[in-house]
């Protein structure tokens, strides 16, 4: 598997600031220290990577790919996530991990993606892992589909702007879990309910593209039981 990095001049202008941050390895998502979590992991830390694949030539037509996890999975069944997963021993780096996992899950051909860079790994000590968001771009959505229905229920393209998009006020919420705030929520068409870690990444992606985050004044929504397992 090979991947290519793109020259800044070939990118649509709306993507350039976020691509520069990814190329530098900047922090995308900051997490405050959780007093319930030990500062050092009890065991080895597993490496994972996710792919933020943006397709489009402008904010008006840009979309990001999401997947609904298989409903029979033991971990987070039915939740929406970015393509990605754990590193294999044969992976060269986090970019390789993200592209390999995306190919296995959605059929994405690596040559259809221009890799723009990888953000700093996000520590997740309660899971004993760190997750690296990898940023990729394609001028138009590549053909994708479910490769293993056990792992992936469906693949969804979420628009960045316009009706039914990640910035449509009618689809943006502040999440509650048993009354406690858990950050942004995107209630997208087709019952594509995105919250938690993925929603945090998407919100920071929007900010990096010069778009508005989910405001504190957005309506609150308790996370449905079927989406919190």
* Residues shown for the chain: 229
pLDDT number for residue 73: 86
> Domain limits at 126?
4-227
Q: Which sign does the torsion angle of CA 29, 82, 114, 158 carry? A: negative
Share of the chain above pLDDT 90, in %: 78
Under the banding of pLDDT at 50, 70 and 90, the label for residue 125 is confident
User: Where residue 115 sits, what CATH number does that domain have?
Assistant: 3.90.79.10
pLDDT number for residue 211: 97
Q: Does the pLDDT of residue 134 top 90, yes or no?
A: yes
How many domains is the chain built from? Answer: 1
Per-residue pLDDT averaged across 192-213, rounded?
A: 96
Residue 125's CB is within 10 A of a number of other CB atoms, namely 17
CA dist., res. 113 & res. 94, Å (int): 15
Distances (CA, A) of 38 to 88, 101, 127, 128, 186: 26, 29, 11, 11, 30
pLDDT by residue (tens digit) across 27-86? 999 765 544 445 554 567 889 999 999 999 999 999 999 999 998 888 888 899 999 999
Q: Does the pLDDT of residue 8 top 50, yes or no?
A: no
pLDDT number for residue 72: 85
pLDDT number for residue 31: 60
Could you tell me the pTM of the whole model? 0.91
pLDDT by residue (tens digit) across 75-105? 888 899 999 999 999 999 999 999 999 999 9
pLDDT by residue (tens digit) across 164-186? 999 999 999 999 998 999 999 99
Per-residue pLDDT averaged across 150-172, rounded?
A: 97
Under the banding of pLDDT at 50, 70 and 90, the label for residue 6 is very low
CA dist., res. 49 & res. 97, Å (int): 6
pLDDT number for residue 43: 66
């Amino acid at each position: 598997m090979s991947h290519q990095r793109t020259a800044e001049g070939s990118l649509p202008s709306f993507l350039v600031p976020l691509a520069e941050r990814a190329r530098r390895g900047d922090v995308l998502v900051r997490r405050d220290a959780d007093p319930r979590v030990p500062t050092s992991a009890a065991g080895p830390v597993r490496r994972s990577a996710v792919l933020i694949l943006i397709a489009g030539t402008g904010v008006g037509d840009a979309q990001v790919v999401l997947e609904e996890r298989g409903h029979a999975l033991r971990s987070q069944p039915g939740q929406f996530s970015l393509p990605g997963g754990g590193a294999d021993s044969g992976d060269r780096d986090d970019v390789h991990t993200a592209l390999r996992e995306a190919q296995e899950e959605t059929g994405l051909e690596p040559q259809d993606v221009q890799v723009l860079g990888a953000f700093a790994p996000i520590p997740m000590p309660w899971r004993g892992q760190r997750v690296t968001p990898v940023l990729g771009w394609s001028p138009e959505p590549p053909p994708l589909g479910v490769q293993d229905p056990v792992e992936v229920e469906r693949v969804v393209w979420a628009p960045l702007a316009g009706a039914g998009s990640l910035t449509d006020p009618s689809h943006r919420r502040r999440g509650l879990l048993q009354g406690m705030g858990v950050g942004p929520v995107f209630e997208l068409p087709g019952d594509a309910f995105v919250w938690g870690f993925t929603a945090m990444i998407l919100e920071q992606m929007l900010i990096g593209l010069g778009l508005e985050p989910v405001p504190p004044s957005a309506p609150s929504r308790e996370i449905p039981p079927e989406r919190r397992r």
